[in-house]
A and B are shown apart, each in its own frame.
Chain A
Amino acid sequence: MIKTAKLSVSTAPFLKDTDTTPKIMFTVVYTLIPVLLVSFYYFGLSAILVTLTSIFSCMFTEWLFNKSEDRLQSLKDGSGLITGLLLALTLPPGFPLWMVFLGGVVAIGMGKAMWGGLGQNVFNPALVGRAFLQAAFPTAITTWSPPDGGYFSLRGTNAALPFLQGTNVDATSGATPLAKMKFDHVSTDWLDLLLGNTGGSLGETCGLLLILAGAYLLIKKIINWRIPISIILTVSVLSGIFYLFDPSIYPSPIFMILSGGMLLGTIYMATDLVTSPLTPKGIWIFGIGIGILIVLIRNWGGLPEGVMYAILLMNAGTPLINRFAKIRTYGHKK
């Protein structure tokens, strides 16, 4: 007689692909590790403290905002960890740690939990946190420590007490390549941009590693190739036109792509699965929109950097794009 005690009943399909949501999320985390190591190399202890604070605050908020019975479940999927890492990478190394913590709380609390948790949010959580910090602490977030000084010394206003700005321990504060471009029309050598030997936030300095990480994610099919391609193409073409028009005012396309948060935003934030459109047509609209906004904000906006707002604005348009950029079903009219 055949023993059937362990058999159970479910409906087809019975096979499952090997990719799971936590696996996807952790692959993204692993690709961020080299980027983090480089920023630790350039910015030493400060970078490590900012990163750890950001991760802790995001995971803590994630845990806090979830129903008690699946508090740990929502930490397992790794999405809170990604938000923490990405938020840290957008901040200046000398940023006061209490502000980092607050940014993490806002990123997860208002960027994700408030919408209903993973998969429900409209805006990229890390950028929500960054936008909040930009609005609340405009001075601190534009105080860039240059990538020199000892590994073990604190930079900028890291150690500021809560609710205080603190005093800057750096003798000088350097401008970012984008600010130099914006206000003085001085470009930075593209090799420095590629290797990261410039001022800026934790993750926006080393272009080369970001490009490698992006290539890996594309090969693994974790991010949709249409997003980085459409953004980079749009930015190159648009800024190229302006550059040809007047190279003394407008930056070159290579500078546009390698400077600021362009690569970090293009590879890790615009490609956020949750907040980008679903259909190929929608993704092209989304990417081209971000590209146009980046060029417009950088060239004519009040701020030197436009990647964050460009992505957030197109995030807002995503539900609408999803509604209209439908796919033609098989057998329906073209």
Chain B
Amino acid sequence: MSTSAKYSGKTYTFNHGVHPEEFKELSSHCEIQRMPFVEEYILPLGQHIGAPSDCLVSKGQKVRRGEKIADPIGFVSVALHSPVDGTISEVGIFPTPNGQVLPGIKIKIDPYSTQRMDEAPIDLEDLDRKGFISTVQNAGIVGLGGAAFPAHVKFAIPEDKTCKYIMLNGCECEPFLTADHRTMLEYPEEIIDGIQILNRYLKADKAYIGIEANKPDAIEALKKIATTSTFPIEVIALQVKYPQGAEKMMITAILGEEVPTGKLPLDLGVLVGNVGTIKAISDYFRKGIPLMERIVTITGTAIKNPANVLVPIGTPMKDVIELCGGITDDAARILLGGPMMGAVQKSLDVPVVKGTSGLLALTSNEVRDLDEYSCIRCGKCVDACPIFLNPSMMGLLAKKGLWDEMLEYNIMDCFECASCSFVCPSGIPLVQSFRVAKGFLREKAVREKASA
């Protein structure tokens, strides 16, 4: 069924991994469209990794589109902006996509709210490295690949480390998702510009853009613009394989080196950022648009009209789904993110947040609830695991609750890509049990530290 075009040049990749059906053709041809404004917006204060933002507004206050409504607390935290003109209708607690109920701000839109915003480019000449970092923090920019890690924290490179390569992640290896694909196709100038802004302060040797070979049009578009840059930017085609877009896998594919366990890509001199994140930098420095809207793929076999939509942060999911014609009667799951690592939703009242790369509705044809059989030690999971763990053995240990023994099998290196559960012919919930085990082991480590 996969009909996506193939790139004909040389491709790079990592060892192991899996190849799920891509399903990209549902939305890869859909131009990015703007989500019309809706009645109400819910903006959780903790949309990023790190400390939740500090609310600056109170009930009844008027806010403008692009106005800062929450300040960062501490370094690992970012600002939050209102995506619309409106009135703060409530400062309280709201359900969020990760299942938690967290403090947030509800904004009721003004009937005359428009997309107009006073453009306020930032003068880069006056900005030093420190100023650049705090500007990125105040623009509310986080990694748009899904983890929502504050971007400026990555850019603040410690004294003892150097950034040799800026690596842009345009792999989008999760099936269904096409938001990064469309971003690269429609905004290649902004992406190349973002790299150049970033490199003023990072002073890297070279930039790479890694893109899976199923997006030949995006590869061509970026290659074309990259030639205009004086700073060397190389666009690299990567083999279509999951999890090619995992930071470690992309670095290994491009540089041929492994990120040592417990270390960061920066230890190899690499800084990785999602293409959308880099575009967001260009948007803020050139046009003054903070991160208050993002491109989301709304797709899945149970969505009537799949689309790539520029959604204001805080738009409730049900409104976004309605824009795409609603869901079909046989919808079985609705989730945020991709089908391999995304989070299932039990309520459609939760808002789109900064880390939402996709909104999927799947039917029972894809989400097959199979009988679970005993592990037959076929070793498919061993051949799938991109970081060479032994999921089969760890699964047996997890079933017996032998968490400590799992440490010997390097369970903590697992980044939960779910390739093992995907291939398991016995339908054993491997990665699911590793999440539980990791949670337990982390908690235990904290407890031991506290009592020591």
Contact = CB atoms under 8 A, between A and B. Distances in A.
Interface of A: 2-4, 6-17, 19-24, 73, 77, 79, 117-120, 224, 273-274, 276, 278-279, 322, 326-332
A120 to B, nearest CB: 7
Contacts of A15: 20-21, 175, 339-340, 366-367, 422
Given A21-B425, A330-B413, A224 B379 contact: yes
A278 B263 CA distance: 28
B333 A119 contact: no
Interface string B30-43: 00000000000000
A21 B376 contact: yes
B346 to A, nearest CB: 5
B393 interface: yes
A77 B373 contact: yes
Contact of A10 (B21, B260, B344, B427): B344
A115 to B, nearest CB: 11
Contacts of B318: 2
B407 to A, nearest CB: 12
Contacts of B330: 6
B224 to A, nearest CB: 34
Given A118-B373, A329-B389, A17 B423 contact: yes
B426 A12 contact: no
Interface in B384-399: 386-390, 392-393
Nearest to A76: B371
Interface string B96-130: 00000000000000000000000000000000000
Interface stretch (B84-92, B182-190, B283-291, B319-327): B319-327
Contacts of B387: 329-331
Given A278-B393, A331-B387, A2 B327 contact: yes
Given A2-B318, A330-B258, A19 B380 contact: yes
Contact of B379 (A8, A273, A328, A331): A273
Contacts of A331: 248, 258-263, 387, 413
B373 A9 contact: no
Contact of B390 (A2, A274, A278): A278
Contacts of A224: 379
B349 to A, nearest CB: 10
Interface residues of B, number: 72
Contact of A14 (B263, B333, B423, B435): B333
Nearest to B341: A12
B425 A328 contact: no
B362 interface: yes
B339 A14 contact: yes
A331 B370 CA distance: 34
Contact of A17 (B248, B409, B425): B425
Contact of A119 (B339, B375, B410, B432): B375
Contacts, number: 163
25 contacts: A2-B348, A8-B332, A9-B333, A11-B429, A11-B432, A12-B343, A13-B341, A13-B422, A13-B431, A14-B360, A16-B370, A16-B422, A17-B20, A19-B380, A20-B425, A20-B427, A21-B373, A24-B425, A118-B376, A273-B376, A273-B379, A278-B393, A279-B379, A329-B410, A331-B262
Determine which residue in B326, B378, B413 has the highest number of CB atoms from chain A within 10 A of its CB, and name it.
B378
Given A12-B418, A15-B339, A24-B378, A330 B333 contact: no
A14 B379 contact: no
A22 B373 CA distance: 9
Interface of B: 18, 20-21, 175, 248, 252, 258-263, 318, 321-322, 326-327, 329-335, 337, 339-344, 346, 348, 360, 362, 366-371, 373-380, 382, 386-390, 392-393, 409-410, 413, 418, 421-427, 429, 431-432, 435
A119 B373 CA distance: 9
A14 B388 contact: no
A178 to B, nearest CB: 31
Given A3-B329, A15-B20, A24-B376, 8 more contacts: A8-B332, A10-B344, A15-B367, A16-B421, A24-B378, A119-B373, A119-B376, A329-B261
B107 to A, nearest CB: 22
Determine which residue in A224, A326, A330 has the highest number of CB atoms from chain B within 10 A of its CB, and name it.
A330
Contact of B339 (A12, A73, A274): A12
A139 to B, nearest CB: 36
Nearest to B431: A13
B340 A12 contact: yes
Contacts of A14: 333, 335, 339-340, 342, 344, 360, 362, 366-367
Contacts of B377: 119, 273-274, 276, 278
Contacts of A279: 379, 382, 390
A11 B258 contact: no
A278 to B, nearest CB: 5
Contacts of A7: 331-334, 346
B388 A329 contact: yes
Contacts of A278: 377, 379, 382, 390, 392-393
Contacts of A13: 339-341, 418, 421-422, 431
Contacts of A10: 333, 344, 367, 369
A137 to B, nearest CB: 31
Nearest to B319: A2
A265 B27 CA distance: 50
Given A14-B335, A279-B382, A4 B348 contact: yes
Nearest to A22: B373
Contacts of B427: 16, 20-21
A77 B375 CA distance: 12
Contacts of A77: 373
A6 B392 contact: no
Contacts of B340: 12-15
A327 B393 CA distance: 12
Contact of B426 (A11, A21, A73, A276): A21
A8 B340 CA distance: 17
A8 B370 contact: no
Contacts of B248: 330-331
A64 B301 CA distance: 44
A123 B91 CA distance: 65
**For the complex of A and B, 10 pairs with smallest distance between CB atoms:** A119-B374, A330-B387, A13-B418, A331-B261, A21-B373, A14-B339, A329-B410, A118-B374, A273-B378, A19-B425
Contacts of B432: 11
Determine which residue in A12, A326, A332 has the highest number of CB atoms from chain B within 10 A of its CB, and name it.
A12
Contacts of B367: 10, 14-15
Given A15-B339, A327-B390, A6 B373 contact: no
A332 B261 CA distance: 6
A7 B378 CA distance: 33
